């Protein structure tokens, strides 16, 4: 939820906040925020090659990227074999 966190009183309807999300070096999603009260959710199931995962929010010149929360869970490989 944006909630005018940056104090810029941005008109999100006329000029939505847009930023990219990368998992490591790989493009994952483009986020379009056009409401300050909507909760935006993006999910991914990935296989981590090492014990850490880099999630990068990329400023593409259409507002400051933000992340309200992130959850990560370890899963048994048998639960989602398509990701292997």
Query: pLDDT tens across 29-76, in order?
Result: 999 998 888 888 888 888 887 888 899 999 999 988 998 888 888 888
Q: What is the pTM of this model?
A: 0.76
For 59, the token pair is 């400023």
| Domain around 47 | 17-83
**Whole-angstrom Cα distance, residue 16 to residue 19?**
10
**pLDDT of 2 over the 70 cut:** no
Q: Beta 26-33 vs 55-62: how paired, if at all?
A: unpaired
Count, in order, helices (H) and strands (E) of the chain: 0, 3
Question: Is residue 71 in some structural domain?
Answer: yes
Question: Is residue 74 in some structural domain?
Answer: yes
| DSSP letters spanning 2-25 | -TTTTS----TTTS-EEEEEEETT
Question: Is residue 34 in some structural domain?
Answer: yes
The 10s digit of each residue's pLDDT in 19-32 is 999 998 999 999 99
Looking at the structure of the chain, the number of domains it has is 1
Residues 76-80, mean pLDDT to the nearest whole number: 80
State residue 28's pLDDT score. Answer: 94
């Amino acid at each position: 939820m944006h909630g005018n966190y940056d104090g810029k009183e941005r008109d999100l309807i006329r000029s939505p906040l847009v930023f990219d999300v990368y998992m490591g070096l790989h493009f994952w999603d483009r986020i379009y925020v056009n409401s300050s009260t909507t909760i935006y959710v993006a999910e991914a199931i990935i296989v981590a090659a090492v014990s850490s995962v880099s999630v990068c929010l990329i400023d593409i010149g259409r507002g400051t990227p933000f992340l309200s929360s992130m959850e990560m869970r370890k899963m048994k490989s048998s639960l989602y074999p398509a990701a292997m």
